[in-house]
Amino acid sequence: MFGWTGTILRVDLSSGKILKESLDPGLAKTYIGARGLGARIIVNEVDPTADPLGPANKLIFAAGPLTGTYAPSCGRYDVVTKGPLNGTIAGSNSGGSFGPELKYAGYDLLIIEGKAAKPSYIWIEDAKVEIRSAEHLWGKNVPDVTDAIRAETDDEAKVACIGPAGENLVLFACIMNEMHRAAGRTGVGAVMGSKNLKAVAVSGSGSVVAADPDAFKQAVMKARRKIQANPVGGKGLKAYGTDVLVNILNSVGSLPTRNSRDAYFPTADKVGGETLSANNLIRPKGCFSCIISCGRVSRVTDPKFEGLGEGPEYETAWAFGPACGIDNLDAVLKANFLCNELGLDTVTMGSTIACAMDMFENGILTLKDTGGLALNFGNADAIVELTKQTAYKEGLGAKLALGSYRFAKSFGHPEYSMTAKKQEMPAYDPRAVQGIGLQYATDNRGGDHVRGYTIAVEVLGNPVKMDQYATKGKAELVKTFQDLTAALDSSGACLFTTFGIGADELAEMLSAATGVPYSTAEFMKIGERIWNMERLWNLKSGLSAKDDTLPERLLKTPIVTGPSKGRVSELGTMLPEYYEIRGWDKNGVPMAAKLKQLSLAGA
């Protein structure tokens, strides 16, 4: 096979058995790789009603056929499992160099089964695979574990590991690779912790071979030129990182503020990308084969919040910033660094603290509940302290570790949780940007933006501009973006390549790399197939159309101030049209004709 290595590595932690299996070429062609192939295996092998933190759940590290090639920004991989935060099929995407290294060791996918009797880690060195003791690593943070495993194996090994949050089964724990890159959402780190698996370390000496090297080179060079010519992909993200979006979203009245009490934050600039670049940035940083370099190597300037690390991304700056009514960038940076070290999803962590602050200000939480900590909006010390408490399940952190929905519900007020399908929504207020609200409500893993980034069109005008407040055309827009990102995630490419290229270029690079003639239409159809397959599995797990919704606050309470004052989400107008365009019935169930068209009949 070309592009693919052709080998699946399967490790059973319960028995210690290690198997190598041939990748079915037909399955690879039909689902591409990474998210698509990982999801197909979960659908085939994991009961949708299984306990996400039980041994019957499986954890899959999956690379795509473009992962590890010199295609632009193609170093991505997915961690696919049943997510404990909300029980959906989870595909958490990460960058860095771990995915390419897994390919260089000879594997498209690593399937992890069962549960180790004692803390363990997996060491992969080309054909050699071992399960080693991690008892001496249990309790250590991400940087210390990474350094220790490299010292025991190979200085250049790529390490994906969990921190204390994953060990303690925090429901939104991450898997961190190369210390600063995160498979961040849905709680994949808790699944890893439930298996007594501290880390996976990989060193490979192979390469990824293209079917048609000349055609691949031409396709890659064309894609690179288009990305570099795009003002966002070519210049903007490198200069200011994703945090540049703080001021952009605030300027259009779509920056969720104080747990979505509002959508405009007057001092947003203090935590924006321009301020970060001027005061805290050491240098931009990219992932494997990256030509965009949106990553930030940053430092804290206030000795009170001393720290050095990577970040923050836009969602992180928002979650610990405006969502909590905070404009102290040093405190935001410190909370971000702690999340990386302890292995926490920054979006859910910050949003859950914002939920707690909202409840405190409304008298639902008392000082007795918080251990004497005044959780008023704007308390910068609180975001740092509660991040630590949550990772170790200490004090109020023991309840925050459940995520905002379960946290708020435990006090009798789930309406304070700004979630979709019990996962915290990112940094775009759906009252001001209608398409993103439909995306949140229908996403297969809950509140999420990267699987249907309508902000590109509705706010940034890439490749065209649509009225952010309009509902017309948004159902089609959301479906198109969802199908595109499902296929893109499966290829191993970064979402940000779409600031310059689209399905045409991705299909062209895939065809030259694999030798499979993917047309643009077939590429998009594969994305649609993956989306519908994930939907079917979620329905079998107990989700239904009633879960395709948003918090009542966003549906009924208008934005108070700013450019989008008076707006609410008009989800009810868009959702029936979305079901119809998808080929689903009025209950959101894919119909037989659609399943036949996508070769999913009987799935």
Domain map (residue ranges) of the chain? 7-203, 241-411, 434-549+570-597
pLDDT in tens, 391-416: 999 999 999 999 999 999 999 999 99
Contact status, residue 67 vs residue 109, Cβ threshold 8 Å: no
pLDDT in tens, 80-139: 999 999 999 998 999 999 999 999 999 999 999 999 999 999 999 999 999 999 999 999
Give the H/E segment covering residue 166: helix 164-167
**Rounded to whole angstroms, how far apart are CA atoms 506 and 490?**
11
Contact status, residue 25 vs residue 127, Cβ threshold 8 Å: no
Instruction: Please work out, in degrees rounded to the nearest 5, the angle formed at the alpha carbon of residue 86 by the alpha carbons of 80 and 89.
Output: 30
Contact status, residue 14 vs residue 113, Cβ threshold 8 Å: yes
**Rounded to whole angstroms, how far apart are CA atoms 195 and 409?**
28
Which pLDDT score is estimated for 91?
87
Query: So what's the architecture of 7-203 in CATH?
Result: 4-Layer Sandwich (3.60)
Q: H/E/C letters for each residue in 445-461?
A: CCCCCCCCCCHHHHCCC
* Three-class SS state of 339: helix
**Rounded to whole angstroms, how far apart are CA atoms 553 and 355?**
13
**Rounded to whole angstroms, how far apart are CA atoms 103 and 346?**
28
**Rounded to whole angstroms, how far apart are CA atoms 475 and 423?**
21
Residues 6+ apart with CB under 8 A from 580: 475
The parts of the chain modelled with pLDDT lower than 50 are none
The token duo for 11 is 């490790």
Residues 6+ apart with CB under 8 A from 349: 172, 319, 320, 335, 339, 387, 390, 400
Beta carbons within 10 angstroms of residue 589's beta carbon? 16
Beta carbons within 10 angstroms of residue 128's beta carbon? 10
Nearest to 449, CA basis, from 438, 462, 440, 458 = 440
Which pLDDT score is estimated for 387?
98
Sequential DSSP letters for 496-550:
GGGTT--HHHHHHHHHHHHS----HHHHHHHHHHHHHHHHHHHHHHT--GGGS--
**Rounded to whole angstroms, how far apart are CA atoms 603 and 340?**
38
Tell me the whole-structure pTM to 2 decimals.
0.97
Query: CATH number of the domain at 434-549+570-597, out of 1.10.599.10, 3.30.530.20, 3.40.1110.10, 3.40.50.300?
Result: 1.10.599.10
Residues for the chain: how many in total? 603
The token duo for 203 is 């060193």
Which pLDDT score is estimated for 293?
92
CATH top class, domain 241-411? mainly alpha
Residues 6+ apart with CB under 8 A from 112: 11, 13, 58, 59, 60, 61, 122, 195, 197, 200
Contact status, residue 529 vs residue 114, Cβ threshold 8 Å: no
